[in-house]
Amino acid sequence: MSASSTQKVPVEERLFSLVLALLATETGLTKNEVLSTVQGYRQRFRAGGDNANLERQFERDKDDIRDLGVPLETVESPGQPGNNQNLRYRIPRGAYELPSDITFSAEETTLLNLAAMVWREGSLSGESRRAVMKLKGLGLVSDEPVLGYAPRLRVRDAAFEPLRAALERNAVVRFAYLKPGEEQARVRTVAPLALVQHQGRWHLHALEPDTQRTKTFLLRRIVSQVTTTGATFPAPLVDQTKAALSELEQVWESHTAEIEVVPDSDAATRLHKRRGTETLANGVLRLHYSDANIFADELAGYGPEVLVLSPPVLRAAVHTRLLRTAAEHSDADEGADRG
């Protein structure tokens, strides 16, 4: 096996390749077809061997792309209902493309095409570029799904690379971490155990040497450079990824919100597609979330299209953000009038 075939594929490239593959098929792909052919899976696929870890990775990836609003469908094979091994997965193009009533001016289209070109040329590996060319050769136009999906995946937190390097060397690291509600960041010294992605965000699962307690840190809240202390620690005897994801999933399961949405709005479309969304008898949506502050940022972005009914802490957080936005716009308008 060549070095190029065993090279680790970045997670965003694997998810991007998965989306392209599922968009390119009308009938869908089975799990085995995905694992044996799609970039990022096939490098680790063992024909006739144990692929349990790879299958779990695929299950997590499905949740991630659904959380990003991608309408991934599961289709049972005709004549074999209930046979999970023959389930087929696909992304229907009609459900993924922009609504027909959304149009762009010539100037906006030019800017979008330019942004897509810059992202694509700067982000994709040679193999992924060849995959795009193959899709075009089959008559598939891939610009729309690439533009709608990829930029949300590519951006990584600045702390990711130094933490990944420290993880490989079992090096103890130090960084400043700002928790919600605190005005001052606190310096943390930890032994990195795993970097995991949950609900589209990167987390560090780490051990505090002083307390011997494991904690999980959201990378976006690391507000300083990550530095190594010069100390190292013994590598864990078992992979810590599963434990970290299990803890995050428990947090996500335990936090729910009830929200009213304006029918047929952007908020309704996106929030209905979130993993675990329930529609109650009165039309209210019940949603799971991991972090109230991050979820409040998202909900506030929908403006008047959403109304948080519960819990009170989330409702207050969204209300505070909306008031802040209104005040900032009011200040900007006053400044323009004086000018």
Q: Work out how many domains the chain is built from and give that number.
A: 3
Asked whether residue 12 carries a pLDDT value surpassing 80, the answer given is no
Mark whether 149 and 164 lie in a shared domain: no
> Are 169 and 234 a contacting pair, CB within 8 Å?
no
Q: Return the pLDDT at 139.
A: 46
> Residue 209 belongs to a domain with what CATH number?
2.30.30
Mean pLDDT, all residues of the chain? 78
Q: Return the pLDDT at 170.
A: 92
Q: Among candidates 153, 158, 313, which has minimal Cα distance to 221?
A: 158
Model confidence pLDDT, tens digit, residues 170-218? 999 999 999 887 888 999 999 999 988 888 788 999 999 988 899 999 9
Q: What is the DSSP string of 245-309?
A: HHHHHHHHHH-EEEEEE-TTSHHHHHHHTSTT-EE-TTS-EEEE-S-HHHHHHHHHTTGGGEEEE
Model confidence pLDDT, tens digit, residues 243-297? 888 899 999 999 999 999 998 888 888 898 888 899 998 889 999 999 898 899 8
Model confidence pLDDT, tens digit, residues 36-50? 888 888 888 888 888
Distance CA 13, CA 212 (A): 35
Q: Whole domain around residue 325: which residue ranges?
A: 255-338
Mark whether 111 and 145 lie in a shared domain: yes
Last residue of a domain, one of 192, 209, 239: 239
- Between vectors from CA 331 to CA 327 and to CA 335, what angle results, nearest 5°? 170
Mean pLDDT (whole number) for 105-124:
55
Handedness of CA 291, 292, 298, 299 (dihedral sign): positive
3-state helix, strand, coil in the chain (%, to 5): 45, 20, 35
Mean pLDDT (whole number) for 125-140:
48
Asked whether residue 140 carries a pLDDT value surpassing 60, the answer given is no
Segment among 231-235, 284-288, 310-314, 335-339 with least mean pLDDT: 335-339
Mark whether 15 and 143 lie in a shared domain: yes
Last residue of a domain, one of 183, 213, 239: 239
Mark whether 220 and 91 lie in a shared domain: no
Mark whether 59 and 185 lie in a shared domain: no
| Angle in degrees, 0-180, between the axes of helices 312-338 and 292-300, rounded to the nearest 10 | 50
Task: Quote the longest CA-to-CA distance of the chain.
Answer: 73
